[in-house]
Structure 1
Amino acid sequence: MTSTLSWIDEVTMAELERNPYPVYERLRTEAPIAFVPVLGAFVASTTEACRTIANSDDFEGIITPAGGRTFGHPAIIGVNGDIHKDLRSMVEPALQPSEVDRWVEKLVRPIARRYLEAFDATGRADLVTQYCEPLSVRALGDLLGLEDVGSDTLREWFHKLSDSFTNAAVDADGNFTDQKRFDEGDAAKAEIQSIVDPLIDHWIEHPDDSAISHWLHDGMPEGKTRDRDYIYPTLYVFLLGAMQEPGHAMSSTLAGLFTRPEQFEAVVDEPDLIPRAIAEGMRWTSPIWSGTARIAKRDTVVSGTEVAEGSVVILSYGSANHDADTFEAPTEYDMTRPPLPHLAFGTGNHACAGIYFANHVCRIGLEELLETIPNLERDTSEDVEFWGWGFRGPTSLHATWEV
């Protein structure tokens, strides 16, 4: 299948992963719903199109082909009906605001302080690899019950799963063009199972307050647990998306603040502004940029485009968050812009279950960083490079400060 605009046929996966914004700017203007051959699917690029599809009864959740190849079935992001309800009921209790409020401070703040102590006296750091990503994976890893898995291992898992999940490029026959990235994801999953299987064996007989233990037992008849093969696809979702999002939201927020020194100073002087800075950071560079999809249940029309029954549409929330019809000067980071709801966490019944937790991990992480190192500055001798189309964030963020 080819697109209705010939230039779209020439779009490459490398181009999208390096910088998707130019392609999606044209899509928003010329074809808000368009078939993109390299992805083997339609994409929705505007705020209106993404919101309409995510909340429409004409569509239901589906995982992208590369995502399905990576996670397997049933992953929470790609199922519907009773299975989706059960998986949401499995993961949501620990992520309810009242529950998160009970433990998030004592979980996250000591982790943040521990990582800061490792480099605050050095006067320089790569904030992505030394702080934002490690804090993000450690907080979720401990919540899940993976306290004995090293942060470097958790980071390696989410990077390999991300490379596999976003390995979307297909040829004219719909076949994937890069097997190596799937192989690396498979190796990560094998390692995950080798570590988690013994823990599951223990939690089946000795349940505790870890999230995975609750996934096994909550809502099940006496003496029964959910099957591990049923849980693993959703665990992979968490080990990728939920581990990636807070870390890259923090680093994107910092990268944005570095472009607006007056706003950076305002946040240092008034920590209560940090949540607003984070919200703008997530809009500016959405960590889950284009990672979810829907399938049309019937022939329908969206944003003036006919979408046939069975068509898969990828929801490009990172593009929607740069829609000039919704946000003024969307390519600029500006935490003083009028607050408008962004789509970094999705919308509809498949919206991210961890919104509250992720926002608090980011808030606590930035509070601790800016209180400990208020004179933080970007190291201008190093470039800030972003990467990713499905998931996006800085690959590094070098900073310096006087000690």
Structure 2
Amino acid sequence: MTTNSTTAPDLSWIGDITMAQLERNPYEPYERLRREAPLAYVPVLGSHVATTAEICREIATSPDFEAVITPAGGRTFGHPAIIGVNGDIHADLRSMVEPALQPVEVDRWIDDLVRPIARGYLAKFENDGRAELVSQYCEPVSVRSLGDLLGLQSVESDKLREWFAKLSRSFTNAAMTEDGEFANPEGFVQGDEAKAEIQATVDPLIDKWIAEPADTAISHWLHDGMPPGKTRDREYIYPTIYVYLLGAMQEPGHGMASTLAGLFSEPDQLEQVVDDPALIPRAISEGMRWTSPIWSATARISTKPVTVAGVDLPAGTPVILSYGSANHDTGVYEAPTRYDLHRPPLPHLAFGAGNHACAGIYFANHVMRIALEELFESIPNLERDTSSDVEFWGWGFRGPTSLHVAWEV
């Protein structure tokens, strides 16, 4: 007589995952996680991690979960950051930031805001025959567009880029010890330095906008929806300012850089997009799926005991939603590691899901669209400089560290 038995897979390898490995190339361990343990506790992160599209979407939209900020994110942003609060506070913060980001409002000013910025940066190098697009174009256009929208015209673009880089390193300093402490406390120093500089810069502007409201996002955050003569406390809005100066600053820049890197990997598709700018939005959508800028930076926490994907989670269990992994789920996308402009237009999770989905989806997509329109119009013969590799970095936030290009002048 024979009996059928199954042996639980050996998941001890999950304990060997390191932050260095995740930052360099999270796709390898996450591919294995999707296959063997799509919802699993990852010791180095001190949290359960969701890696498939189905599980990420289920948790993001479930009434049994609410938003929570990761420990490193909470240490970086403080409370109440819009990405990690719920209930009345979340509703108030969304009501504070969303009016300026509604499509009808964005359509009114987006072209006049972004196109001159893009043309200005292009003018600095379009006759040089070569450039490094991340530092010379993608990131500057992204930070300048959002900086001007926030009211930070006086802050140099390089300083805005420095702030989001320091905040990013702090936010993704996620390694935890077995006893739940941060493995690298020094990793928050740069983020603290950036926040001190931000407050020193923004406090005088807030003082001015309290007395003299202006048509800037931060001024509206202070005043909109408040009783006459009252404003929101600056301590209340600063955590969300930090969220914007990190996530909203980096997302369009890294999204367009990843889109370009993807197109360079498929020269025929690059040529099609250059010849037909109407394809740019589709190219961006695939670029955001291919390398999601906000790769694994959001989390939820269970509000009661719940079972997800066969895993029992007690109340109060945090789960990191790895949207970058979900966007490479072979159960949804064929050959997901390949950039493919002509992939069937399936929805992706680069902007999240549920009531904490990114409020700036429309704004970010149009910043990227306008910037790429201007780039391809000015330099239609753009090619990747193959003497330099394209290296990507990041686990929480991810994008090319550099993108060297050349063209005949």
Query: Which TM-score band (shorter chain)?
Result: over 0.9
Alignment counterpart, residue 218 of structure 1, candidates 221, 224, 247:
224
Asked if 1:227 is matched to 2:214, the reply is no
Asked if 1:184 is matched to 2:190, the reply is yes
Alignment counterpart, residue 19 of structure 2, candidates 8, 13, 32:
13
| SS at 2:278 equivalent | helix
Query: Where do 4+ consecutive residues of structure 1 move more than 4 Å?
Result: none
Alignment counterpart, residue 377 of structure 1, candidates 361, 380, 383:
383
Deviates more, 1:177-186 or 1:285-294: 177-186
| SS at 2:126 equivalent | coil
Q: Assess if the C-alpha contact under 8 Å between 1:4 and 1:34 holds in 2.
A: no
CA distance in 2, matches of 1:41, 1:157: 27
How far 1:32 sits from its partner (Å)?
Answer: 0.8
| SS at 2:182 equivalent | coil
Alignment counterpart, residue 321 of structure 2, candidates 311, 315, 320:
315
| SS at 1:266 equivalent | helix
TM-score (norm 1): 0.99
Structure 1 residues 133, 47: closer, same or farther in 2, change over 3 A? same
How far 1:306 sits from its partner (Å)?
Answer: 1.3
Residue of structure 2 in register with 1:144 after alignment:
150
Alignment counterpart, residue 346 of structure 1, candidates 336, 343, 352:
352
How far 1:4 sits from its partner (Å)?
Answer: 7.5
CA distance in 1, matches of 2:30, 2:315: 24
Asked if 1:106 is matched to 2:112, the reply is yes
CA distance in 2, matches of 1:261, 1:146: 38
How far 1:180 sits from its partner (Å)?
Answer: 2.2
Asked if 1:395 is matched to 2:404, the reply is no
CA distance in 1, matches of 2:271, 2:14: 42
CA distance in 2, matches of 1:320, 1:285: 11
Residue of structure 2 in register with 1:281 after alignment:
287
Question: Residue type matched to 1:161 in 2?
Answer: L
Deviates more, 1:298-307 or 1:36-45: 298-307
Alignment counterpart, residue 241 of structure 1, candidates 231, 247, 261:
247
Residue of structure 1 in register with 2:140 after alignment:
134
Alignment counterpart, residue 264 of structure 2, candidates 235, 248, 258:
258
Residue of structure 2 in register with 1:29 after alignment:
35
Deviations 1:83-139 (A, max 9, x none): 000000000000000000000000000000000000000000000000000000000
Asked if 1:203 is matched to 2:209, the reply is yes
| SS at 1:313 equivalent | strand
Q: Assess if the C-alpha contact under 8 Å between 1:109 and 1:368 holds in 2.
A: yes
Deviates more, 1:305-314 or 1:186-195: 305-314
1:115-134 alignment, distance < 5 Å: 115-134=121-140
Question: Residue type matched to 2:362 in 1?
Answer: Y
Residue of structure 2 in register with 1:81 after alignment:
87
CA distance in 2, matches of 1:49, 1:335: 26
Residues paired across the two proteins, number:
401
Deviates more, 1:213-222 or 1:180-189: 180-189
CA distance in 2, matches of 1:28, 1:308: 22
| SS at 1:249 equivalent | helix
| SS at 2:397 equivalent | coil
CA distance in 2, matches of 1:142, 1:15: 36
Structure 1 unaligned segments of length 5 or more: list them: none
CA distance in 2, matches of 1:291, 1:114: 32
CA distance in 1, matches of 2:263, 2:375: 14
Residue of structure 1 in register with 2:330 after alignment:
324
Once the two structures are aligned, what percentage of the paired residues are identical? 74
CA distance in 1, matches of 2:51, 2:313: 14
How far 1:177 sits from its partner (Å)?
Answer: 1.4
CA distance in 1, matches of 2:105, 2:280: 22
Asked if 1:95 is matched to 2:101, the reply is yes
Structure 2 unaligned segments of length 5 or more: list them: 1-8
CA distance in 1, matches of 2:184, 2:127: 43
